[in-house]
Copies of this chain bind each other. A is one copy, B any other.
Amino acid sequence: MAGSSHIFQAPKGTRDFDPPNMALRLHLEKAWRDASIRHGFEQIDGPTFEHLDLYTVKSGEGIVSELFSFKREGGDTDYALRPEFTPTLARMAASKGRSLSLPTRWFAMPDLFRAERPQRGRLREHRQWNVDLLGAPGPDADAEVIAVALTALRTLGLSQSDIRVRISHRGAAAGLLSACGVSDDSMADAFSLVDRREKIPADQFAEQAAAIGLDEAGVRRLDDIASSRIAATNAPGTIAEQHGLPSETVADLEALARELEKRGLLEFCDWDLGIVRGLAYYTGTVWEIHDAAGDFRAIAGGGRYDELVQLFGGPAIPACGFGMGDVVLGLVLQERGLLGDQLSDLLPRPDVFLVSSGTDDAEEHLVPLATSLRELGMHVRHTWKSTRNVGKQLKEASSNRSRFAVILGEELANNTVVAKNLDAGTQVDVELGDLPIWLQRQLAESEAAELQ
């Protein structure tokens, strides 16, 4: 901006949401919330910042450079903006202890923060949907959280040709990495490295792989495994035979396949041994949702983490869940043409736009009429510009997609107004006293018609 200094910009990697961009975020949040509630999940939230220790105690000090951390002026407690929601969830579950009624289904929509350099699809602040099912150890729970994720994505218009759930298992990954020469001690580093495989240059990958005991043959084998993706409508055994997976892992995936099938979701899924998830706390199934072409980062990632609550001082609670951010999802919806012609079409439509012809009578009626219609719950607008040109006001009514326009004009002398249905292009005279009930009926009919 000419003339304004840096202080008038949003911080790098963060976003200003003007009404159309906010409407997009609310559109995603509505799909997330509705899918969660349909499946009986209940919303929670925690603080935007936590004690720094909550993140370092389990992940080590290495994570500090990825965090925004701070103290109060003159205080000695270290805090950090939350980089993910799962530690907060585990802390909340641990603090409720045995009073927590299990199984419990929770979801949240926190803002999360990363101090890294911003990249496409990865900002310093983003909103993330988190869904967790605590206290259920079976594959029905894993399938259920996948169903919640897919319900939201399908509501947003994505089909099985747009998105794929890529499923693997930590047991498979550990077994295979072990066979490739990774020691148990290096396993967590290996998960993190394999997870970043497609995001770092090949030479850097080879160098880091060597450091954790993977030789060239091991890396080739790993690449081979990572590219062995097959549709989940094939039995997991198909992939198991090829790579010699442990039999318990195959049994877990077979049980998951049955649960996905019950939910009609197997057609959305692939078995993909290249999925490991970078975070250390996964213990069973791991999965990511990607755009089918693989052009973007993961839309969502999740899995089973049976030891997490215990890590934070709580009882042993089996758990599974996922996170889905707003940034990549928005890019994928845009690329698939699922956001309409313009974001402003996602804004709430006014029910009624009141137009004043500017006579004393009209001016006197304008605000009291708006007030009484709003008391009935209607979304009512009138111009805030000084113009009393009826044509200009009707243009404003159309441009913000009002359903009806009501013109206060000469007819007020007969206690009558002109009501225009702006979608249908029709208009009728309505007696002023009948207007509220007339509008309520018309709006109910429009709504019923739109739902069909």
Contacts and interface: CB of A to CB of B under 8 A. Distances in A.
Interface residues of A, number: 92
A77 interface: yes
Contacts of A25: 45
Contacts of A378: 38
Interface string A293-321: 00000000000000000001100000000
Nearest to A72: B115
A147 B57 CA distance: 50
A16 interface: yes
Contact of A51 (B9, B75, B313): B9
A380 B39 contact: yes
B44 A22 contact: yes
A6 B38 CA distance: 36
* Copies assembled: 2
A22 B46 contact: no
A337 interface: no
Determine which residue in A23, A348, A377 has the highest number of CB atoms from chain B within 10 A of its CB, and name it.
A348
Contact of A140 (B51, B259, B367): B367
Given A38-B378, A44-B18, A115-B72, A263 B371 contact: yes
B105 A10 contact: no
A40 interface: yes
Contact of A313 (B3, B96, B113, B125): B3
Contacts of A51: 6-7, 9, 11
B379 A38 contact: yes
Contact of A374 (B19, B39, B43, B371): B39
B10 A53 contact: no
| Dominant secondary structure at the A interface | mixed
A103 B385 CA distance: 7
Interface in A21-75: 22-23, 25-26, 34, 37-40, 42-51, 53-54, 57, 64-65, 67-70, 72-75
Contacts of A65: 73-74
Given A10-B91, A263-B367, 19 more contacts: A7-B53, A7-B57, A8-B94, A9-B95, A11-B79, A15-B46, A15-B47, A16-B47, A17-B44, A19-B43, A26-B43, A39-B380, A40-B350, A42-B347, A48-B111, A49-B81, A67-B73, A133-B384, A147-B371
Nearest to A348: B37
A258 to B, nearest CB: 10
A40 B380 contact: yes
A92 interface: yes
22 contacts: A4-B94, A8-B95, A9-B51, A10-B46, A11-B49, A14-B46, A16-B92, A17-B46, A18-B92, A19-B44, A22-B43, A22-B44, A25-B45, A38-B379, A39-B374, A40-B379, A47-B125, A48-B81, A48-B111, A69-B70, A111-B111, A262-B368
